[in-house]
C-alpha cells in the first residue's frame, strides 16, 4: 500500500515535559491522520499542547511515546518537506525581508532565488519591502513574511502556528482568502493552529478540537461546505455553534469567537 | 597710663618673639629618600641617620617631628614628590637630582652623601665577555637615564667605544637579571648586589672599585629653596645630623656595624664586603662640597645635556650651597677631618 | 528619548560641549599661577602645545606613534582573533566550554603587570613579548564577548536553522555569527581599547621606542610634559580608533536602527 505524499499520521502519541524535576503530561494518547492535500485546523484553549503537537510533527521534539509518521516514515527531525510558520514570526533581524524569504533557498542560484522571493512576497502583498529589515515591519507584516518564507521552499505540508494571529480583522480576512487560494493552487497539506473558530471553519476540511491538562483530542468536526464559504450561511453558523458547544462544557467564561 | 603702655609693649614683644619662634620652627620636617629595595630602610648615610635616629635626636627638644618617606620609584618619584611640594629635604642620586634641577625644581644642593657608588658589569658565561673591549656588538642591559648609564658611557670610552657600538636594552633590577639569565641580554651593568654571579649564572667582567671617583655614583642631599629660606637654622641642623653619620661611616672601626646597617636595605653582606674591600671609607663618605664634587656634577650636567636627558644646562656653582655644611662642620669640630 | 526632545536640546548641548572643555582649559592653564598644582607636575596646556609641536617637528612623535600603532595592530589582530576563535569554539561546544572556560578565567586572574617580566623570561626582550602582552590584553574582552554573544543567540534562531537544515559553515556564518555580532563588536571595541592601553605597559620593559616608552622616559627624566603629551596622543588616537569602529558598527548594524530608537 502506498501513502500519498503529504500525509501525516499520529499514533497513540503521549508527551510529557520535565517541570521542576517531575514529569508533566502535556499530550495524552493522540491519534489522528492528516490526509495529503487536506486543510486541517486545530483549536483548543491556551496551553493545551497545540504548539507542542506541531513541533513534534515538525521534528523539533523527538522525545515522546507513540508514533509520528510522515508519508509512512517515522519523523526523526526537521525536513524541507515540512514548512513552518512559527507562533512568533522568527525572522532573522539582520537579514532583509528578501533574504529572510530566501532563507530556505540557499542551494538555488541567485536568479531563481530572486524569482521565488518576488513571487512569494507578491503572494503575501509585500512586494515593495524586499530590502526592508524586520525591525521596520509591523507585527502583521512580519507574520506575512514568515508565511512567504515557509512557502518559498515548497513543502508538502505547511504547519502554521496561529499564522494570522497578529493581523487586523480586515487583513486577516484577506489573508484567509489568500491562504485558501494558495492552498488550492499549491495542492499541499496545511495544518493550522488557530484561536479563531470562524477562521478554522472558513478554511478547513476538518477542525480538530483539543482540550487541556493533559491535551487530548476531544472531537474532530468535518466541514463539508463548498468553497468559497459564506460565513453568514446557516450551515456555517451551525458548525460554529457545534464547535463552541464543546468549549461551553469546560470553560466558565466562553469567548465569543476566539478561543 | 604708663603702666598700660609698658604692658602693651611687653605683650607686643612677647607675641612677636612667639610669632618669630613659630616662624623659625616647622612642626614637621618632611624627608624623602630612595627605598627601591622595598625594605623600609634607606641606604648609605641615610640608613645611618635613620638607624641611629640622628634627626630625631637633633630635634627632640624642639618638638619637631621627622617624617621620613621612602620612594620605591627611586629618583623620579622623589623628584615628583619635590615638585608636588611634599618634601623639604630629599636624598637622591646624582643624575636624578640634576634632572630635577634642570626640569625646574627649586632645590639647593647642601651636602654630599656617598661618593663611591660602584657599578658592576656582569655577563652571561656563554657570552664570551671578559673585558670591556669584548662588549662591542653585545646586548647590554642598562637602566637608561641613571648614573649607571653615564658610567657605562665612560667605561666604553676608556676602550674607544661608544653607545652606538653596543646594543643597549633598557631594563632594570629583577627584569635585567631575568633577561640575562634567559639569554635575552649578554651583559648587565648594575649595582654591587649580583645574585646571578653567586648562583653561577653570570660572571664578573668589570667593576669601578679601583676606578677614579668620576666613574662612581654619588648621592646628594637637597633642600627646597622655600624651606631653606624659611628655616635656615633647621637646615643647618639637618646637615649636621648627616655629617655625624658621615663621620661615623668614615671610620674603619665602624665597618662591621656599617655592614649591619646596609644589610637592612636588603643588600647581601657578601656583596657589601666585596664592594667595600680596599675602599677608602673616608673618601667614599666625604660629605663636603669640594672641587671634586663640583667638577663631577658639572660633568654629569654636560653628559645629561649631550645625551638629551635634560633640555637645558644650569650653573652647578649657583646650585651648590656650602653655607650650612661649613657652619655645621665647624660646630662639630670636623672642618679639617675630610681635607 | 524622543527625537524632538533631542533636537530641542541640541544647540544647548553643543554650547555646553564647547564651554565645559574651554573652562577646563582655562582652569588648567591657571592652575600653576594660582598655586593649585605645580606646573612641573601638571604641564599647562600652552606649554603642552609647544612640546607637542616640538615633538611633531622633530619627527619623534610620529616615529613613536607608528611604532606603537604597529605593535597595537599586530597584538590586537593576534589577540582578538584567537579570542574570537576560542569564544566561538566555547560557545558552540558545551564540552569545550566546560574544559576551557575555567582555565581562561583562572589565567585571567594573573594581574596584567605580572605578565611582562614573565614574557621577557619566556621570549627574551624584543618585539615578541610586547606583541604577546598586547595580544593578552586584546584576548580577554574578545573571548568573553564572543562566547557570550554566541551563547546568547536565541534558541529560536537555532531551531529555525535546524528546520532549514543549516549545518556547519553555513550555520556558523549565516546564523550564529550574525546573531552574536553585536556582542562580538563590543568585544572588538574593548579589545582594541585595551590593546592601545597595554602598549604602554608593553613599552615599560626593555624598550626604547613608542608612545609608552616616551611617557616612561618623560617620567624618568622629569619631563612631565612628555608624559602629558603621551596621554594626549593616546587619548586622541583612542578616540579616533573608537570613532572609526563606531562608523563601521553603524553600517554593520543598520538593522538595529529601530531597536534603539524604538521603545526605549
Ligand atoms: N520545553 C518545555 N518544557 C516544559 N514545559 C513546556 C515546554 N514547552 C511547552 N511546555 C508546556 O506545555 C504546555 C503546552 O504548551 P504549548 O506551547 O504546546 O501550548 P499551546 O497549546 O500552543 O498554547 P498557546 O495557545 O498559548 O500557544 C504548556 O503548559 C507549557 O507550559
Ligand atoms: Mg502555541
* C5 lies in some domain: no
Which positions ≥6 away from C110 have C-beta within 8 Å? Answer: none
| Whether residue B107 is found in the same domain as residue B146 | no
User: What subunits make at least 3 CB pairs under 8 angstroms with B?
Assistant: C
Label each residue of B34-80 as H, E or C.
ECCCCCCCCCHHHHHHHHHCHHHHHHHHHCCEEEEEEECCHHHHHHH
What pLDDT sits at residue A53? 92
What pLDDT sits at residue B23? 58
What pLDDT sits at residue A3? 65
* A66 lies in some domain: yes
- Check if the beta carbon of residue C90 is closer than 8 Å to that of residue C147: yes
What pLDDT sits at residue C67? 92
* B213 lies in some domain: no
Partner-chain contact B182 C223, CB within 8 Å: no
Long-range pairs for A238-244 at CB < 8 Å and ≥24 separation? Answer: A239/A201, A239/A207, A240/A197, A240/A198, A240/A201, A243/A43, A243/A197, A243/A200, A243/A201, A243/A207, A243/A209, A244/A197
Measured CA angle at C12 (ends C11, C15), to 5 deg:
85
- Contact list, C37 vs chain B (CB under 8 Å): 84
Helix or strand (DSSP H, E) at B96: helix B94-102
* A80 lies in some domain: no
Helix (H, G, I), strand (E, B) or coil at B107: strand
- Contact list, C224 vs chain B (CB under 8 Å): 80, 83, 103
B223 CA to centre of own chain? 13
| C169 vs B4, more confident | C169
Rounded Cα distance, B45 and B92, in Å: 11
CA of A210 to the centre of ligand 1 (A): 13
Mean pLDDT (whole number) for A131-155: 89
Q: In CATH, what number is assigned to the domain containing residue A40? A: 3.40.50.300
Task: Answer with the one of B207, B235, B253 that is the final residue of a domain.
Answer: B207
Mutate to test the pocket of ligand 1, among A24, A52, A159, A214 (most ligand atoms within 8 A of CB): A52
- Check if the beta carbon of residue C184 is closer than 8 Å to that of residue C65: no
- Contact list, A153 vs chain C (CB under 8 Å): 164
What pLDDT sits at residue B311? 86
Ligand 1, atom 17, residue with closest C-alpha:
A51
* C40 lies in some domain: no
| Whether residue B149 is found in the same domain as residue B287 | no
Give just the sign of the alpha carbon dihedral A61, A66, A67, A68.
negative
Gap between the terminal Cα atoms of chain C: 7
What pLDDT sits at residue C262? 36
| Whether residue A189 is found in the same domain as residue A97 | no
| Whether residue B45 is found in the same domain as residue B174 | no
* C8 lies in some domain: no
Task: Answer with the one of B187, B207, B227 that is the final residue of a domain.
Answer: B207
Helix or strand (DSSP H, E) at C145: helix C127-151
Which positions ≥6 away from B27 have C-beta within 8 Å? Answer: B64, B65
CA of B156 to the centre of ligand 1 (A): 84
- % of chain B residues with pLDDT over 90: 11
Mutate to test the pocket of ligand 1, among A44, A45, A50, A166 (most ligand atoms within 8 A of CB): A50
| Closest alpha carbon to C189 in C133, C148, C247, C231 | C247
What pLDDT sits at residue C144? 94
Rounded Cα distance, B221 and B244, in Å: 14
| Whether residue A208 is found in the same domain as residue A254 | yes
Label each residue of C215-234 as H, E or C.
HHHHHHCCCHHHHHHHHHHH
Mean pLDDT (whole number) for A139-158: 90
Which ligand has the nearest atom to the CA of A215? 1
Partner-chain contact C38 B84, CB within 8 Å: yes
| A163 vs B39, more confident | A163
| Whether residue B272 is found in the same domain as residue B239 | yes
The count of structural domains within chain C is 1
Q: In CATH, what number is assigned to the domain containing residue C109? A: 1.10.3720.10
Could you write out the DSSP letters of every residue in C168-201?
Answer: HHHHIIIIIHHHHHHHHHHHHHHHHHHHHHHHHH
- The model's pLDDT over B100-156, given as tens digits with 9 standing for 90+, comes to 999 888 899 998 888 888 899 999 998 889 999 999 999 999 887 777 888 898 899
Ligand 1, atom 2, residue with closest C-alpha:
A17
| Whether residue A35 is found in the same domain as residue A124 | no
pLDDT bin (cut points 50, 70, 90) of residue A137 is confident
From the alpha carbon of A195, which atom of ligand 1 is closest?
Answer: 25
pLDDT bin (cut points 50, 70, 90) of residue A175 is confident
* A121 lies in some domain: yes
Helix (H, G, I), strand (E, B) or coil at B321: coil
CB-nearest to B76 from C37, C213, C219 is: C219
A191 CA to centre of own chain? 4
Alpha-carbon distances, residue B112 vs B338, C36, C242 (angstroms): 12, 33, 52
Taking every pair of C-alpha atoms in chain B, what is the biggest distance, in angstroms?
96
| B158 vs A247, more confident | B158
* B97 lies in some domain: yes
* A13 lies in some domain: yes
Mean pLDDT (whole number) for B62-87: 85
Mean pLDDT (whole number) for A88-106: 90
Count of CB atoms situated within 10 Å of the CB of A78: 19
Across A190-199, B271-280, C159-168, least confident range: B271-280
Rounded Cα distance, A7 and A188, in Å: 10
CB-nearest to C163 from A78, A93, A134 is: A78
* A11 lies in some domain: yes
Count of CB atoms situated within 10 Å of the CB of B204: 13
| Whether residue B227 is found in the same domain as residue B326 | yes
Count of CB atoms situated within 10 Å of the CB of C153: 19
What pLDDT sits at residue B5? 57
Which residue in chain B has the smallest CA separation from C124?
B184
Mutate to test the pocket of ligand 1, among A18, A45, A49 (most ligand atoms within 8 A of CB): A49
Helical packing angle, B147-158 and B291-306, nearest 10° = 90
Partner-chain contact C255 A133, CB within 8 Å: yes
- The model's pLDDT over B294-312, given as tens digits with 9 standing for 90+, comes to 888 898 898 888 878 888 8
Task: Answer with the one of B180, B207, B234 that is the final residue of a domain.
Answer: B207
* A83 lies in some domain: no
| Closest alpha carbon to C218 in B45, B76, B316 | B76
Helix (H, G, I), strand (E, B) or coil at B337: coil
Which of A:76-115 have CB within 8 Å of C?
Answer: 77-80, 84, 86, 88, 90, 92-95, 103-104, 106
What pLDDT sits at residue C257? 58
Partner-chain contact C206 B80, CB within 8 Å: no
Helix (H, G, I), strand (E, B) or coil at B81: helix
Rounded Cα distance, B285 and B280, in Å: 9
| Whether residue B104 is found in the same domain as residue B247 | yes
Helical packing angle, C127-151 and C177-202, nearest 10° = 150
What pLDDT sits at residue C260? 41
Which of C:120-179 have CB within 8 Å of B?
Answer: 120-122, 124-126
What pLDDT sits at residue C143? 95
Q: In CATH, what number is assigned to the domain containing residue B170? A: 3.40.190.10
CB-nearest to C163 from A58, A88, A136 is: A58
Count of CB atoms situated within 10 Å of the CB of B226: 12
Ligand 1, atom 19, residue with closest C-alpha:
A47
What pLDDT sits at residue A123? 84
The answer on pLDDT for A132 being more than 70 is yes
Q: Phi and psi (nearest 5°) for A20?
A: 55, 40
C213 CA to centre of own chain? 19
Label each residue of C55-101 as H, E or C.
HHHCCHHHHHHHHHHHHHHHHHHHHHHHHHHHHHHHHHCHHHHHHHH
CA distance C42 to chain B (A): 10
Write out the residue range of the structural domain in which residue A97 sits: 88-154
Task: Report cis status (omega within 30 of 0) of the bond before B148.
Answer: no
Which residue in chain A has the smallest CA separation from C153?
A92
Rounded Cα distance, C107 and B262, in Å: 39
CA of A216 to the centre of ligand 1 (A): 14
CA distance C169 to chain B (A): 44
CB-nearest to C164 from A60, A93, A103 is: A103
Rounded Cα distance, A12 and A68, in Å: 9
Task: Answer with the one of A98, A127, A154 that is the final residue of a domain.
Answer: A154
What pLDDT sits at residue A34? 92
Q: Please tell me the total number of residues recorded for chain A in this structure.
A: 259
CA of A208 to the centre of ligand 1 (A): 18
- Check if the beta carbon of residue C211 is closer than 8 Å to that of residue C233: yes
Give just the sign of the alpha carbon dihedral B331, B332, B333, B335.
negative
The answer on pLDDT for B267 being more than 90 is no
The answer on pLDDT for A253 being more than 50 is no
| Whether residue A124 is found in the same domain as residue A222 | no
Q: Which residues of B247-257 are buried (b: 16+ CB within 10 A; e: fewer)?
A: bbbbeeebeee
What pLDDT sits at residue B27? 85
- Contact list, A86 vs chain C (CB under 8 Å): 156, 160
What's chain C's Rg over C-alpha atoms? 23
Ligand 1, atom 5, residue with closest C-alpha:
A17
| Whether residue B96 is found in the same domain as residue B241 | yes
Which residue in chain C has the smallest CA separation from A85?
C160
Mean pLDDT (whole number) for B182-192: 87
From the first residue on, what is the mean pLDDT of each consecutive set of 10 residues in chain C (264 residues)? 56 79 81 74 82 86 91 95 94 88 87 81 83 93 94 91 89 90 92 90 81 86 87 89 88 65 34
The answer to whether residue A134 neighbours chain C at the CB level (below 8 Å) is yes
Partner-chain contact A133 C254, CB within 8 Å: yes
| Whether residue B235 is found in the same domain as residue B328 | yes
Task: Answer with the one of A101, A121, A154 that is the final residue of a domain.
Answer: A154
What pLDDT sits at residue A254? 45
Looking at B116-268, list the stretches that DSSP marks H as alpha helix, in order from N- to C-terminal side.
Answer: 147-158, 173-181, 195-198, 225-230, 232-249, 255-263
What pLDDT sits at residue A210? 92
CB-nearest to C156 from A79, A80, A90 is: A90
- Check if the beta carbon of residue B68 is closer than 8 Å to that of residue B33: yes
Mutate to test the pocket of ligand 1, among A22, A27, A47 (most ligand atoms within 8 A of CB): A47
* B185 lies in some domain: yes
User: What subunits make at least 3 CB pairs under 8 angstroms with A?
Assistant: C
* A96 lies in some domain: yes
- Contact list, C227 vs chain B (CB under 8 Å): none
Rounded Cα distance, C126 and A193, in Å: 68
| Closest alpha carbon to A119 in A101, A95, A94, A138 | A101
The count of structural domains within chain B is 2
| Whether residue B99 is found in the same domain as residue B222 | yes
* B5 lies in some domain: no
What pLDDT sits at residue C184? 92
What pLDDT sits at residue A47? 86
Helix (H, G, I), strand (E, B) or coil at A31: strand
From the alpha carbon of A52, which atom of ligand 1 is closest?
Answer: 18
Edge-first strand listing for the sheet containing A22-34: A22-34, A8-19, A65-70, A73-74
* A81 lies in some domain: no
Rounded Cα distance, B235 and A11, in Å: 104
- The model's pLDDT over A30-45, given as tens digits with 9 standing for 90+, comes to 899 999 899 999 999 8
Q: What are the DSSP E strand ranges found in chain A?
A: 8-19, 22-34, 39-44, 65-70, 73-74, 82-85, 157-161, 189-193, 206-211, 216-222
CA of A53 to the centre of ligand 1 (A): 10
ipTM here: 0.86
Helix (H, G, I), strand (E, B) or coil at B100: helix
The count of structural domains within chain A is 2
- Contact list, A161 vs chain C (CB under 8 Å): none
Q: Which residues of A182-193 are buried (b: 16+ CB within 10 A; e: fewer)?
A: bbeeeebbbbbb
| Whether residue B307 is found in the same domain as residue B195 | no
What pLDDT sits at residue A189? 93
- Contact list, B141 vs chain C (CB under 8 Å): 206
CB-nearest to A94 from C165, C166, C255 is: C255
What pLDDT sits at residue A259? 53
Write out the residue range of the structural domain in which residue B71 sits: 26-116+218-332
The response to whether residue A26 sits with its C-beta less than 6 Å from ligand 1 reads yes
| A57 vs A259, more confident | A57
pTM of the model: 0.77
Task: Answer with the one of A108, A124, A154 that is the final residue of a domain.
Answer: A154
- Contact list, B305 vs chain C (CB under 8 Å): none
Amino acid at each position: 500500500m502506498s501513502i500519498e505524499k503529504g500525509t501525516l499520521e499520529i499514533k497513540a502519541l503521549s508527551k510529557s515535559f520535565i517541570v521542576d524535576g517531575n514529569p508533566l503530561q502535556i499530550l495524552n494518547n493522540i491519534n489522528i491522520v492528516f490526509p495529503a492535500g487536506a486543510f486541517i485546523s486545530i483549536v483548543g484553549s491556551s496551553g493545551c499542547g497545540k504548539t507542542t503537537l506541531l513541533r513534534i510533527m515538525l521534528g523539533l521534539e523527538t522525545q515522546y511515546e507513540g508514533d509520528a509518521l510522515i508519508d509512512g516514515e517515522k519523523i526523526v527531525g526537521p525536513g524541507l518537506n515540512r514548512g513552518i510558520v512559527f507562533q512568533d514570526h522568527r525572522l532573522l533581524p539582520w537579514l532583509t525581508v528578501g533574504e529572510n524569504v530566501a532563507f530556505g533557498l540557499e542551494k538555488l542560484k541567485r536568479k531563481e532565488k530572486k524569482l521565488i522571493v518576488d513571487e512569494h512576497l507578491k503572494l503575501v502583498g509585500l512586494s515593495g519591502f524586499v530590502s526592508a529589515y524586520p525591525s521596520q515591519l509591523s507585527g502583521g507584516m512580519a507574520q506575512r513574511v514568515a508565511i512567504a518564507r515557509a512557502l518559498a521552499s515548497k513543502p508538502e505540508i505547511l504547519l502554521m502556528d496561529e499564522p494570522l494571529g497578529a493581523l487586523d480583522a480586515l487583513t486577516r480576512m484577506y489573508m484567509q482568502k489568500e491562504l485558501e487560494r494558495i492552498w488550492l493552487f499549491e495542492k499541499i497539506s496545511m495544518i493550522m493552529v488557530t484561536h479563531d473558530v470562524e477562521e478554522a471553519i472558513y478554511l478547513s476540511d476538518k477542525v480538530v478540537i483539543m482540550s487541556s491538562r493533559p491535551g487530548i483530542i476531544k472531537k474532530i468536526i468535518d466541514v463539508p461546505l463548498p468553497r468559497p464559504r459564506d460565513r453568514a450561511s446557516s450551515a456555517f453558523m451551525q458548525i460554529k455553534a457545534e464547535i463552541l458547544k464543546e468549549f461551553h462544557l469546560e470553560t466558565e467564561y466562553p469567548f465569543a469567537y476566539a478561543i | 597710663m604708663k603702666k598700660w603702655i609698658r604692658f602693651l609693649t611687653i605683650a607686643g614683644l612677647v607675641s612677636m618673639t612667639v610669632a618669630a619662634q613659630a616662624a623659625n620652627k616647622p612642626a614637621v620636617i618632611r624627608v624623602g629618600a630612595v627605598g627601591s629595595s622595598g625594605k623600609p630602610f634607606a641606604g648609605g648615610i641615610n640608613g645611618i641617620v635613620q638607624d641611629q635616629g640622628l634627626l630625631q635626636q637633633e630635634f627632640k627638644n624642639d618638638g619637631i617631628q621627622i617624617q621620613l618617606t621612602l620612594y620605591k620609584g627611586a629618583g623620579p618619584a622623589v623628584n615628583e614628590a619635590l615638585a608636588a611640594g611634599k618634601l623639604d629635604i630629599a636624598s637622591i642620586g646624582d643624575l636624578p637630582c640634576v634632572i630635577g634641577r634642570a626640569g625646574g625644581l627649586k632645590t639647593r644642593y647642601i651636602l654630599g652623601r656617598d661618593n663611591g657608588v660602584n657599578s658592576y658589569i656582569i655577563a652571561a658565561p656563554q657570552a664570551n665577555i671578559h673585558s670591556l673591549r669584548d662588549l662591542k656588538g653585545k646586548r647590554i642591559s642598562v637602566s637608561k637615564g641613571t648614573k649607571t648609564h653615564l658610567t657605562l658611557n665612560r667605561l666604553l670610552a676608556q676602550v674607544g667605544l661608544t653607545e652606538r657600538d653596543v646594543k643597549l636594552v633598557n631594563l632594570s633590577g629583577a627584569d635585567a637579571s631575568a633577561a640575562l639569565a634567559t639569554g635575552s641580554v649578554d651583559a648587565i651593568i648594575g649595582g654591587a648586589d649580583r645574585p646571578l654571579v653567586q648562583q653561577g649564572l653570570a660572571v664578573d667582567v668589570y667593576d669601578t672599585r679601583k676606578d677614579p671617583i668620576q666613574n662612581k655614583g654619588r648621592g646628594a642631599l637637597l633642600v627646597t629653596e622655600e624651606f631653606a629660606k624659611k628655616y635656615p637654622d633647621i637646615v643647618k641642623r639637618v646637615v649636621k645630623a648627616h655629617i655625624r653619620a658621615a663621620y661615623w661611616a668614615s671610620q674603619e672601626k665602624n665597618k662591621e656595624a656599617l655592614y649591619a646597617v646596609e644589610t637592612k636595605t636588603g643588600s647581601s653582606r657578601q656583596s657589601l664586603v666585596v664592594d667595600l674591600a680596599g675602599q677608602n671609607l673616608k673618601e667614599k663618605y666625604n660629605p663636603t662640597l669640594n672641587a671634586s664634587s663640583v667638577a663631577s656634577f658639572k660633568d654629569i650636567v654636560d653628559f645629561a645635556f649631550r645625551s638629551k636627558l635634560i633640555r637645558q644646562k644650569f650653573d652647578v656653582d649657583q646650585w651648590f650651597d656650602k653655607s650650612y655644611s661649613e657652619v655645621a662642620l665647624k660646630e662639630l669640630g670636623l672642618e679639617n677631618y675630610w681635607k | 528619548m524622543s527625537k524632538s526632545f533631542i533636537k530641542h536640546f541640541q544647540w544647548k548641548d553643543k554650547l555646553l560641549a564647547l564651554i565645559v572643555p574651554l573652562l577646563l582649559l582655562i582652569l588648567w592653564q591657571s592652575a600653576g599661577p594660582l598655586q593649585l598644582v605645580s606646573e612641573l607636575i601638571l604641564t599647562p596646556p600652552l606649554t603642552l602645545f609647544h612640546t607637542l609641536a616640538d615633538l611633531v617637528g622633530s619627527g619623534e612623535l610620529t616615529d613613536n606613534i607608528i611604532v606603537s600603532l604597529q605593535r597595537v595592530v599586530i597584538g590586537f589582530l593576534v589577540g582578538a582573533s584567537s579570542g574570537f576563535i576560542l569564544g566561538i569554539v566555547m560557545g558552540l561546544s558545551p564540552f569545550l566550554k566546560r574544559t576551557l572556560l575555567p582555565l581562561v578565567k583562572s589565567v585571567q586572574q594573573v594581574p596584567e603587570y605580572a605578565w611582562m617580566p614573565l614574557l621577557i623570561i619566556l621570549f627574551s626582550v624584543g618585539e615578541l613579548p610586547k606583541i604577546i602582552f598586547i595580544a593578552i590584553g586584546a584576548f580577554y574582552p574578545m573571548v568573553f564577548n564572543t562566547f557570550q554573544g554566541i551563547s546568547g543567540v536565541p534558541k529560536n534562531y537555532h531551531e529555525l536553522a535546524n528546520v532549514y537544515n543549516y549545518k556547519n559553515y553555513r550555520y556558523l556564518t549565516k546564523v550564529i555569527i550574525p546573531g552574536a555580532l553585536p556582542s562580538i563588536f563590543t568585544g572588538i571595541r574593548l579589545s582594541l581599547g585595551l590593546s592601545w592601553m597595554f602598549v604602554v605597559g608593553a613599552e615599560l620593559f626593555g624598550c626604547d621606542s613608542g608612545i609608552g616608552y616616551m611617557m616612561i622616559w618623560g617620567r624618568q627624566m622629569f619631563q612631565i610634559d612628555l608624559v602629558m603629551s603621551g596621554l594626549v596622543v593616546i587619548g586622541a588616537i583612542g578616540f579616533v580608533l573608537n570613532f572609526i569602529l563606531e562608523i563601521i558598527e553603524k553600517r554593520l548594524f543598520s538593522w538595529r536602527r529601530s531597536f534603539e530608537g524604538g521603545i526605549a
